[in-house]
């Protein structure tokens, strides 16, 4: 038996990659250390937003299989690593899963295999961490096997750009590795962009996310003083965004969330500090501003109640949408969590509504869920729109509410409070 591709790590990144490769006719095997993940996939059940159960069932019918047996990896021509890289206690990436996946491949490496790391990490990981582990097999990179980094750019929930039409950056540890990696991705992705090497490809991903993080921090800081100056920042951005060159619109919000934006820039600043001894000041400032947004939203909520003669203590506050972005179920690093924690600490009675989230915990305790959207909106002392899911008609809900605080700038009535 042979396979064109084995994907290690069958999550938000690995599964869409496997599906796209299969759609283009590649034979694909999935490897995961979590038997529950592998069993569910083999039974046709998806656990990520971008793939439905039907999508997974289709993949299985077309020959996909998930395994926890590492010996099967040796049948594949290419191995792609898509395992998690969370933040460690020291603020850098925790490479435990990347190291483990590299050891797994090393034990099953065959001559000529292409190995690609897709997990987001600091510059130098592919060359300094993954390569030495793989070379323990006795094979040498660039000769016995080929090694590259290719950053994952997936944007869960994005209906316009998916795996096949988002250009794929690849950088190999040798020109031959780059060539092989580009040829591999070219089989199922429209545009492949060759970076000079692994470090450039690793840093490109971090530049993209740092750019986003910093620009969100810029408008978040502006949101504070524009409110004080009685300037409608949403209108400002709308006007500025009509410039056809040199400006890209970013919007303020209750904080940044997800697995990438709040985390990836830290890999770079941690690496600069560890290797060079000085700070990456832009990242540290952006981190500080974005991290304080939930507390800022809580203080604005307190002021709204105060102006109505109400105390935060004992007030009924309903949070609408608690995921980190609209129309998906992913709650990782969602700013709704520190917001709920803060409101609860101030004595508010917090409940939430979210069509995508059945159970939600903040500060170790379950937050009560409302399923009757309009009833809950009418009953609350204050409604805070945290995430504008497509199920919400914000103007209509704002009209029903006693007080409505819109952190996404989507309501139009003068009576709502906007961030
Ligand atoms: N989710 C995103 O939107 C996104 C976007 C771009 C980049 N990334 C990056 O991609 C990487 C993967 O993220 P994700 O969101 O897919 O994670 P995930 O948690 O959804 O999935 C990771 C999977 O890897 C498995 N795993 C852990 N250790 C393993 C090992 N040693 N061998 C095989 N499988 C193992 C886990 O069981 C899990 O099923 C991270 O580095 C992340 O930063 C994620």
Q: What is the pLDDT of residues 117-151, one digit of tens each?
A: 999 999 999 999 999 999 999 999 999 999 999 99
Nearest CA to 101 out of 125, 123, 78, 130 is that of 130
Predicted confidence at residue 246, as pLDDT, reads 96
Mutate to test the pocket of ligand 1, among 11, 72, 118, 154 (most ligand atoms within 8 A of CB): 11
Catalytic residue chosen out of the listed positions 28, 130, 223, 260: 260
pLDDT digits (tens, 9 = 90+) for 299-318: 999 999 999 999 999 999 99
- Whole-number Å distance, alpha carbon 119 to ligand 1 midpoint, is 7
With 0-12 / 13-18 / 19 or more C-beta atoms within 10 angstroms meaning exposed / middle / buried, residue 280 is buried
Out of 3.40.710.10, 2.60.110.10, 3.40.50.1100, 3.40.50.720, the CATH code matching 222-418 is 3.40.50.720
- 222-418 matches 3-197 in CATH topology: yes
Nearest CA to 142 out of 175, 106, 185 is that of 175
Give the residue, by CA position, lying nearest to ligand 1 atom 44: 13
Q: Where are the alpha helices (DSSP H) in 94-160?
A: 96-106, 125, 131-135
Mutate to test the pocket of ligand 1, among 9, 42, 156 (most ligand atoms within 8 A of CB): 9
- Whole-number Å distance, alpha carbon 194 to ligand 1 midpoint, is 23
Nearest CA to 11 out of 154, 191, 167, 131 is that of 154
Counting from 1 in the atom list of ligand 1, the atom nearest the Cα of 153 is 6
Residue 177 and residue 112 in contact, taking contact as beta carbons nearer than 8 Å: no
Q: What percent of the chain has pLDDT over 90?
A: 87
Predicted confidence at residue 86, as pLDDT, reads 87
pLDDT digits (tens, 9 = 90+) for 167-220: 999 999 999 999 999 999 999 999 999 999 999 999 999 999 999 999 999 999
Counting from 1 in the atom list of ligand 1, the atom nearest the Cα of 8 is 33
- CA-based R_g, the chain, Å: 23
- Whole-number Å distance, alpha carbon 116 to ligand 1 midpoint, is 14
User: Does 3.40.50.720 match the CATH number of domain 3-197?
Assistant: yes
- What are the φ/ψ torsions at residue 5 (nearest 5 degrees)? -145, 140
Residue 336 and residue 254 in contact, taking contact as beta carbons nearer than 8 Å: yes
Taking the C-alpha atoms of residue 254 and residue 246, their distance in angstroms, rounded to an integer, is 26
Mutate to test the pocket of ligand 1, among 31, 47, 152, 156 (most ligand atoms within 8 A of CB): 152
Beta strands in 164-236 (DSSP E): 168-172, 192-194
- Whole-number Å distance, alpha carbon 86 to ligand 1 midpoint, is 9
- Whole-number Å distance, alpha carbon 6 to ligand 1 midpoint, is 14
Counting from 1 in the atom list of ligand 1, the atom nearest the Cα of 100 is 31
Give the residue, by CA position, lying nearest to ligand 1 atom 18: 11
Predicted confidence at residue 363, as pLDDT, reads 75
Predicted confidence at residue 14, as pLDDT, reads 96
Residues within 6 Å of ligand 1 by CB: 8-14, 31-34, 37, 82-85, 97, 100-101, 104, 119-120, 152, 154, 156, 259-260
Domain boundaries, the chain: 3-197, 222-418
Predicted confidence at residue 1, as pLDDT, reads 74
Counting from 1 in the atom list of ligand 1, the atom nearest the Cα of 37 is 39
- Whole-number Å distance, alpha carbon 84 to ligand 1 midpoint, is 4
The three-point CA angle 155-156-159 to 5° equals 85
Give the residue, by CA position, lying nearest to ligand 1 atom 32: 101
Nearest CA to 111 out of 139, 132, 136 is that of 139
Beta bridge partners of 193: 169
Give the residue, by CA position, lying nearest to ligand 1 atom 41: 119
Produce one character per residue of 308-323: b if its CB has 16 or more CB atoms within 10 Å, e if not. Answer: eebebeebbbbbbbbb
Predicted confidence at residue 188, as pLDDT, reads 96
Give the residue, by CA position, lying nearest to ligand 1 atom 14: 12
Which residues of the chain have a pLDDT value below 50? Answer: none
Helix, strand, coil % over all residues of the chain, rounded to 5 = 40, 15, 45
- Whole-number Å distance, alpha carbon 80 to ligand 1 midpoint, is 11
Cα-based distances in Å from 258 to 103, 263, 346: 28, 8, 26
Residue 257 and residue 332 in contact, taking contact as beta carbons nearer than 8 Å: yes
Residue 410 and residue 386 in contact, taking contact as beta carbons nearer than 8 Å: no
Is residue 260 among the annotated active site residues?
A: yes
Taking the C-alpha atoms of residue 381 and residue 401, their distance in angstroms, rounded to an integer, is 8
């Amino acid at each position: 038996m042979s396979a064109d591709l084995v994907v290690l790590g069958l999550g938000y990144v690995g599964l869409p990659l496997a599906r796209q490769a299969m759609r283009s006719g590649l034979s694909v095997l999935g490897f995961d250390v979590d038997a529950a993940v592998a069993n569910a996939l083999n039974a046709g059940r998806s656990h990520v937003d971008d793939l439905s159960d039907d999508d997974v069932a289709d993949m299985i019918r077309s020959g996909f299989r998930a395994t926890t047996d590492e010996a099967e990896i040796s049948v594949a021509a290419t191995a792609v690593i898509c395992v998690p890289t969370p933040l460690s206690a020291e603020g850098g990436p925790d490479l435990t899963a990347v190291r483990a996946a590299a050891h797994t491949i090393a034990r099953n490496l065959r001559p000529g295999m292409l190995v690609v790391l897709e997990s987001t990490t600091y510059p130098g990981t592919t060359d300094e961490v993954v390569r030495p582990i793989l070379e323990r097999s006795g094979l040498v990179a660039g000769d016995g096997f080929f090694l590259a980094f290719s950053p994952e750019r997936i944007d869960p929930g994005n209906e316009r750009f998916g795996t096949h039409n988002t250009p794929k950056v690849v950088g190999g540890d040798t020109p031959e590795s780059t060539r092989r990696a580009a040829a591999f991705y070219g089989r199922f992705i429209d545009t492949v962009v060759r970076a000079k090497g692994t470090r450039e490809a690793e840093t490109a991903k971090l530049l993209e996310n740092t750019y986003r993080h910093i620009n969100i921090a810029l408008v978040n800081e502006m949101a504070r003083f524009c409110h004080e100056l009685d300037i409608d920042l949403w209108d400002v951005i709308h006007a500025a965004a009509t410039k056809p060159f040199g400006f890209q619109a970013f919007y303020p919000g209750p904080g940044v969330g997800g697995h990438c934006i709040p985390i990836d820039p830290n890999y770079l600043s941690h690496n600069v500090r560890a290797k060079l001894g000085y700070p990456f000041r832009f990242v540290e400032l952006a981190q500080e501003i974005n991290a304080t947004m939930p507390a800022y939203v809580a203080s604005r909520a307190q002021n709204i109640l105060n102006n109505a003669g109400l105390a935060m203590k004992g007030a009924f506050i309903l949070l609408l949408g608690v995921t980190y972005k609209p129309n998906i179920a992913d709650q990782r690093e969602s700013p709704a969590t520190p917001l709920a924690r803060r409101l609860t600490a101030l004595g508010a009675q917090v409940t939430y509504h979210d069509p995508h989230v059945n159970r939600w915990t903040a500060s170790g305790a379950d937050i009560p869920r409302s399923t009757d959207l309009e009833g809950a909106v009418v009953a609350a002392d204050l409604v805070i729109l945290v995430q504008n899911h497509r199920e919400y008609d914000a103007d209509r809900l704002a009209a029903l509410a006693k007080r409505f605080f819109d952190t996404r700038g989507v309501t139009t009535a003068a009576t709502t409070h906007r961030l």
